[in-house]
């Protein structure tokens, strides 16, 4: 288990969720996480009667369920509508420097990065902010960067009904930067090219435009 954690190996393209992941409500989840997080803080020796700490278990629990891990719940998946490509724009569209905050599933510390996303319209277009929303949705899960990249790609292909998508994610993993090997200079780059982006020329154009 320790080896998997340090090597950051993902076991599956899908987030490994249990079948009963959403059998209990968000409210009950917050209550349960709050209780257990209080126990963790207590075990670490922290005084939960201190004014500054007493609200932390509830804040953390609410943040887990409603914010930073809200992308686990399919109910929070952004609803994406497509529009007709009226301007007949046929070239690639790139949304670059999308800020993402995700969390390493082996250490539960932040992954902070940028996503660059491109697609070529097959007759329909997507609202630009929806691309950001899709990135945020899949980021708000315990993740490994490879899976995050693939999930965003699959989500985008599904939304666009097209194979012509490209994604690059460049991210810093705090589990690498702030602990363990403590390398603050390295970042991790992952990519995904499908459809027309498997063509070298198209790929090169994408890469030159996100520089």
Rounded-to-integer distance, Cα 176 and Cα 144, Å? 13
Concerning whether 107 is annotated as a catalytic residue, the answer is yes
Task: Give the shortest CB-191-to-Zn ion separation in angstroms.
Answer: 20
Task: Give the shortest CB-107-to-Zn ion separation in angstroms.
Answer: 4
Rounded-to-integer distance, Cα 190 and Cα 211, Å? 15
Name the catalytic one among 34, 107, 143, 151: 107
Choose one: 27-35, 48-56, 98-106, 123-131; the region binding Zn ion (CB under 5 A). 98-106
CA torsion through residues 100, 171, 208, 134, sign: negative
Binding mask 55-94 for Zn ion (x = CB under 5 A): ----------------------------------------
130-189: contacts with Zn ion (CB under 5 A):
175
Task: Give the shortest CB-98-to-Zn ion separation in angstroms.
Answer: 22
Among candidate residues 149, 141, 146, 148, the one with its CA nearest the CA of residue 7: 146
Task: Give the shortest CB-100-to-Zn ion separation in angstroms.
Answer: 16
Give the one residue of 34, 68, 102, 106 binding Zn ion; rule: CB under 5 A: 106
Residue 104 binds Zn ion (CB under 5 A): yes
Contacts by 153-156, CB closer than 8 A, 24 or more apart: 153/192, 153/194, 154/13, 155/77, 156/117, 156/119, 156/131
Name the catalytic one among 34, 95, 106, 143: 106
Concerning whether 116 is annotated as a catalytic residue, the answer is no
- Which of 38, 107 has the CB closer to Zn ion? 107
**Residues of this chain that bind Zn ion (CB under 5 A):** 104, 106-107, 175
**Annotated catalytic sites, by residue?**
104-107, 145, 173, 175
């Amino acid at each position: 288990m320790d080896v998997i954690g340090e090597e950051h190996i993902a076991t599956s393209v899908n987030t490994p969720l249990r079948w009963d992941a959403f059998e209990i409500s968000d409210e009950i989840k917050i209550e349960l996480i709050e209780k257990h997080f209080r126990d963790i803080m207590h075990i670490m020796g922290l005084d939960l009667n201190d004014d500054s700490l007493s609200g932390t278990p509830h804040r953390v629990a609410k943040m887990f369920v409603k914010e930073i891990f809200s992308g686990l719940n399919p109910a929070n998946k952004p609803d994406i509508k497509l529009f007709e490509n009226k301007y007949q724009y046929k070239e690639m569209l790139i949304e670059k420097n999308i800020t993402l905050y995700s969390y390493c599933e082996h250490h539960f510390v932040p992954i902070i990065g940028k996503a660059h996303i491109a697609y070529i319209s097959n007759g329909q277009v997507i609202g630009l902010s929806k691309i950001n929303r899709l990135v945020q949705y899949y980021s708000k899960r315990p993740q490994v960067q490879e899976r995050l990249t693939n999930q965003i790609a699959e989500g985008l292909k599904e939304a666009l009904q097209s194979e012509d998508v490209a994604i690059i994610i460049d991210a810093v993993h705090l589990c690498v930067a702030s602990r363990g090997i403590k390398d603050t200079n390295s970042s991790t780059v992952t990519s995904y090219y499908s459809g027309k982006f498997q063509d070298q020329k198209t790929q090169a154009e994408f890469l030159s435009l996100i520089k």
